[in-house]
């Protein structure tokens, strides 16, 4: 049941200010996005048309604190096919960016930020990895996270990695 | 032809066979690669978290290649998509470029917009050219049927790629496969996504997405799935056993990187193409080559 008193009519404008999300209000709910979505085919939790409807209705809390916004596989099928040129994959990122600012970062992304801060990359390159690389005649890689740490410090993303993530 | 080789996160630790085969094939075809030690993650994982940080990470990497005056060659399709997208956006949007350069000064770097980014397969297709590669094929793989997997980010968002291939009806990888003398076979849902984008968020769903394609290819009797992205490989090869367990179906489908089959066709010895690192055993395929 939708509680009208809890709807935020400005939520859609908050989102269309984000880069990539500008065209969202053009959506006429044709469902092309949902019909071609590989995630939706398997998992009913994720439904891009429904998410856009929820945003347009102003269901701010439900959307931002949801698990389903993190289920976009970023395959861009919807974005390629949308007849209204809604950049749906970019829109999902815009929604996630706002969710993060509101303290709803998904734990798998906290873990990825931690890896990036520690290694400058998602996977550490250990001495063992380098030995294996040399064995195959590939150049060794000396990882460094110095610049990544500086960039994260500049935008404040470093602080997100320290937090425990959202409360489950 | 010289490029800065952008390995990204996955290739240098989890796809050494891909890297090895790409370097060997590159050498054979006159592609010269520079390794830039300061390259880091392209920024892809941060796109969901904070767009500005995502652009900064990509810009940082782009500026490193600019310093070397080289275009970037990527092996991972996600890196390809991210670096191409940010490069395009920063070239076109002066205001954003200025803002990014202000922030980039913390690492002492500056983005100028002087280079291009291309996936290894696109370089083969466009820069080396099909004709030249065809002339160099010494050992045609005539008896093989391969199922091509384009993956998502080699083609999409098509807007950033200048539509070099058609995302709804792609052909470049099939043409590249056919160059080796093998047949690139049609199969159901060929454009399907590997599911890798949500492996860390919802593993069961991700593996089910990957299972669909393994199932479709298995019914064709193809010798192998051929792909060009290390993360698609994680889904179809590294996770194949897990998928078999989850879906209670045995696939045992070999998964090869395109440069591995091109390398064979070019006459590069098998043991130089990293087949020993393929997890689903490819002995049967190799033995047919004699």
Q: What is the share, in percent, of chain B residues with pLDDT greater than 90?
A: 96
Q: Name the residue among B13, B192, B200 with its Cβ closest to that of A129.
A: B13
Each residue's pLDDT tens digit, B153-179: 999 999 999 989 999 999 999 999 999
Give the residue, A168 or B72, on which the prediction is more confident. B72
Q: What is the mean pLDDT of residues A65-71?
A: 98
| Residue % of chain A over a pLDDT of 90 | 92
Q: Residues of B with CB below 8 A from A155's CB? A: 50, 52-53, 56, 103
Interchain contact, B47 vs A112, CB within 8 Å = no
Tell which residue, B191, B184, B200, has the closest CA to residue B168.
Answer: B191
Per residue in B99-128, pLDDT tens? 999 999 999 999 999 999 999 999 999 999
Helix (H) / strand (E) containing A90: helix A88-101
Predicted local confidence at residue A164, as pLDDT: 43
CB contact under 8 A, A123 and B192: no
Give the largest CA-CA distance in chain B: 59
Residue B63 CA, chain-centre distance (Å), reads 22
Between A109, A142, A151, which is nearest B37 by CB? A142
Q: Where in chain A is the domain with CATH 1.10.1060.10?
A: 4-101
B34 bridge partner residues: B4
The CATH number of the structural domain formed by A4-101 is: 1.10.1060.10
Q: Is residue A167 predicted with pLDDT exceeding 70? A: no
B205·A39 Cβ contact <8 A: yes
Residue A58 pLDDT grade (very low, low, confident, very high; cuts 50, 70, 90): very high
Q: Do B12 and A125 touch (CB under 8 A)?
A: yes
Residues 6+ apart with CB under 8 A from B146: B177, B182, B183, B184, B185, B222, B223, B224, B225, B226, B256, B261
- Mean of pLDDT over chain A: 95
Looking at the complex, does the CB of residue B156 fall below 8 Å from at least one CB of chain A? yes
pLDDT of res. B267? 97
Tokens of A118: 């520690």
Q: What's the confidence (pLDDT) of residue B19?
A: 98
Residue A168 has a pLDDT of: 32
Task: Give per-residue pLDDT as tens, B64-102.
Answer: 999 999 999 999 999 999 999 999 999 999 999 999 999
Mutate to test the interface with B, among A147, A159, A165 (most CBs of B within 10 A): A147
- Say how far apart CA A106 and CA B199 lie, in whole Å: 13
Question: What's the pLDDT at A165?
Answer: 38
Looking at every residue in chain B, the average pLDDT score rounds to: 97
Is the Cβ pair B60, A79 closer than 8 Å? no
Residue B290: pLDDT above 70?
no
> Looking at beta carbons, which residues of chain A come within 8 Å of B8?
121
pLDDT given at position B286: 87
For A:15-54, CB contacts with B below 8 A are 18-20, 38-39, 41-43
> Please, which pLDDT band fits residue A166 given cuts at 50, 70 and 90?
very low
Instruction: Say how many residues make up chain B.
Output: 290
Are A80 and B192 a contacting pair at CB < 8 A?
no
Question: Given an 8 Å threshold on Cβ–Cβ distance, is A136 in contact with B20?
Answer: yes
| Window from A87-96, A120-129, A143-152, B276-285 with minimum mean pLDDT | B276-285
R_g of chain B computed on alpha carbons: 19
Indicate which of B158, B198, B216, B243 best probes the interface with A, i.e. most A CBs within 10 Å of its own CB: B198
pLDDT of residue B289: 80
Q: What is the DSSP letter of A46?
A: -
pLDDT, average across residues B53-61: 98
B148 confidence band (pLDDT: 50, 70, 90): very high
* Chain B residue numbers touching A39 (CB-CB < 8 A): 195, 198, 205, 209
Asked if the Cβ–Cβ distance from B14 to A152 is below 8 Å, we say no
Q: Residue A80: its chain B contacts at CB < 8 A?
A: 156-158, 167-168
Average pLDDT (A75-80) is 98
pLDDT over threshold 70, residue B209: yes
Kindly indicate whether the ipTM for this predicted assembly is greater than 0.90, answering yes or no. Answer: yes
A162 close contact with B: CB closer than 8 A:
no
Residue B40, pLDDT > 50, answer: yes
Q: Is A147 near chain B, with CB under 8 Å? A: yes
Q: What is residue B285's predicted lDDT score, i.e. its pLDDT?
A: 85
Domains in chain B (CATH in brackets) are: 2-119 (1.20.1050.140), 130-289 (3.40.50.11810)
CB-nearest to A70 from B16, B167, B201 is B201
What pLDDT, on the 0 to 100 scale, is given for residue A1? 81
pLDDT tops 70 at residue A69: yes
Of chain B residues 165-224, which have a CB less than 8 A from chain A? 167-168, 191-193, 195-198, 200-202, 205-206, 208-209, 212
Residues in chain A within 8 Å Cβ distance of B206 = 73
* Coil vs helix vs strand at A64: helix
Residue to mutate among A73, A90, A101, A158, with most B CBs inside 10 A, is: A73
Dump pLDDT digits (tens) for B9-36: 999 999 999 999 999 999 999 999 999 9
CA distance B77 to B120: 9
């Amino acid at each position: 049941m939708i509680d009208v008193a809890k709807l935020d009519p400005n939520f859609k404008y908050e989102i269309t200010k984000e880069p990539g999300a500008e065209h969202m209000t053009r959506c006429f709910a044709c469902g092309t996005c949902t019909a071609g979505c590989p995630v939706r085919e398997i998992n009913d939790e994720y439904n891009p048309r429904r998410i856009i409807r929820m945003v347009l209705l102003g269901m701010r809390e439900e959307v931002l604190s949801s698990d389903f916004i993190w289920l976009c596989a970023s395959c861009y099928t919807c974005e390629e096919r949308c007849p209204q040129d809604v950049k749906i994959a970019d829109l999902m990122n815009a929604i996630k960016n706002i969710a993060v600012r509101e303290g709803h970062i998904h734990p798998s992304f906290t873990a990825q930020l931690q890896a990036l801060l520690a290694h400058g990359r998602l996977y550490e390159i250990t001495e063992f990895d380098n030995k294996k690389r040399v064995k195959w005649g590939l150049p060794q890689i000396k990882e460094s996270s110095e610049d990544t740490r500086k960039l994260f410090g500049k935008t404040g993303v470093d602080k997100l990695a320290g937090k425990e993530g959202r409360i489950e | 032809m010289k490029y800065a080789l952008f390995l990204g996160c996955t290739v240098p630790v989890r796809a050494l066979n891909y890297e090895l085969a790409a370097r060997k094939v590159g050498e054979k075809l006159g592609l010269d690669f520079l390794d830039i030690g300061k390259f880091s993650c392209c920024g892809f994982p941060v796109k969901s978290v904070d767009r500005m940080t995502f652009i900064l990470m990509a810009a940082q990497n782009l500026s490193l290649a600019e310093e070397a005056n080289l275009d970037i060659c990527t092996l991972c399709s996600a890196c390809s998509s991210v670096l191409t997208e940010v490069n395009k956006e920063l070239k076109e949007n002066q205001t954003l470029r200025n803002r990014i350069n202000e922030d980039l000064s913390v690492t002492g770097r500056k983005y100028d917009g002087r280079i291009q980014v291309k996936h290894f397969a696109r370089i083969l297709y466009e820069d080396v050219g099909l004709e030249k590669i065809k002339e160099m094929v010494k050992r045609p793989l005539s008896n093989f049927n391969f199922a091509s997997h384009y993956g998502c980010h080699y083609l999409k968002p098509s807007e950033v790629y200048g539509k070099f291939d058609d995302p709804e009806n792609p052909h470049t990888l099939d043409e590249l496969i056919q160059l080796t003398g093998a047949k690139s076979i049609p199969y159901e849902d060929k454009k399907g996504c590997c599911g890798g984008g949500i492996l860390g968020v919802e593993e069961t769903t991700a593996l089910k997405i990957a299972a669909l394609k393994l199932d479709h290819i298995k019914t064709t009797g193809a010798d192998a799935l051929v792909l060009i992205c290390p993360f698609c490989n994680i889904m179809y090869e590294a996770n194949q056993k897990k998928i078999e367990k989850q879906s209670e179906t045995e696939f045992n489908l070999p998964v090869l990187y395109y440069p591995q089959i091109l390398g064979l066709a070019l006459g590069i010895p098998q043991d130089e193409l990293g087949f020993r690192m393929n997890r689903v055993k490819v002995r049967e395929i190799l033995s047919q080559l004699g």
